[in-house]
Homo-oligomer: A and B are copies of this chain.
Amino acid sequence: MLTQRQALILKNIIRIYTQTEQPVGSKHLMNELPIQVSSATIRNDMAKLEEMGLLDKTHSSSGRIPSISGYRYYLDHLLEPSDVSSNDLAIIQQTFNQQYQMIDDIVEQSATILSTLTSYTAITLGPDVQDIKLDGFRLVALGNHQVMAILVTSAGTVQNQIFQVPESISGEDLEKAVRIINDQLVGQPLAVVAKRIQTDVPQMLMKYVSSPTGFLDIFGDVLKKAGSDHFYVGGRLNLLDFANNDVSSLKTLYSLFEKNDDLANLLRLPDFGTGDSDKIMVRLGDELTPHTLRNYSLITATYDVHNHGRGVIALLGPTSMPYSRIIGLLDLIREELARRLTDYYSNFDD
């Protein structure tokens, strides 16, 4: 357990290091502390903090920098989220008050705000797709053998894709197939639908349609799209500022952002679903996979859309971030986002 003064010292070393990115020496720190003690006293406490593994030195006679464990301790015991500045608040309100067409737009905008206000990189994910159901499926002929397939889910999300239809498949067949799909599968969870088009649906179609495979490929494609998570990444370019010329980790990250599965892995919380998932979690150092990211810090928060699942918003930045401000901000945006989405769904089925 830390003495009060030791905690104060740790807290301030983290604060100063975040501002200057330079090791903090005892004399310098002396002038920054609210209490009056000599630099020797501070040195003694620093030595103890180092012994406990909470501080590091860059070389034997350098000032101290926070170690990963130091950040961990700070985050777990010392951090107090600060209120959002009125300036930030105004920006958030203003952005969320824009008129949106779709849920996805709101979620995407959250990533934009978050990255703009922090100068880091934000990642957001809409409410989870666990038990989303098929709400409807359409095919719209566009001429020139092109057909647009549209799938609507119970969560209000829409996926579409355009296909080049070979002449061998007749328009009537497609229409029949669509009718059967809607009759038989609407209202069922996407996962069930996905399973059934592998099992009994082909036979069912077979009775009325001459070649169901082509159609099922199309339907399957769009279904897959609708069933997979959609991540939004805001402020990609900010990475260039805080990844200190470490081109290799830059590459890792940027290619990570392109792959859904990798992003899902990155954001997956150790205790997702269990425990108090309302807490904002910070992971850094070896807590992060892949290990290429051990110089970064990832803050994740979930938000709860009443009766419509939970989503995730996250922020990726350097290990040394102004956590107080950032976490306050994240908390506000999470609440705001939950509120907007809950509103959205509440006047959904009228």
Contact = CB atoms under 8 A, between A and B. Distances in A.
Given A158-B162, A237-B254, A143 B148 contact: no
A121 B259 CA distance: 20
Contacts of A348: 144
Interface residues of A, number: 33
Contact of A237 (B142, B144, B241, B255): B255
A72 interface: no
A20 interface: no
A282 interface: no
A165 to B, nearest CB: 10
A98 interface: no
Contact of A150 (B148, B156, B240): B148
Nearest to A347: B145
Interface string A54-96: 0000000000000000000000000000000000000000000
Nearest to A164: B101
Interface in A195-244: 236-237, 240-241
8 contacts: A100-B164, A101-B163, A102-B164, A140-B140, A140-B150, A146-B152, A236-B254, A237-B251
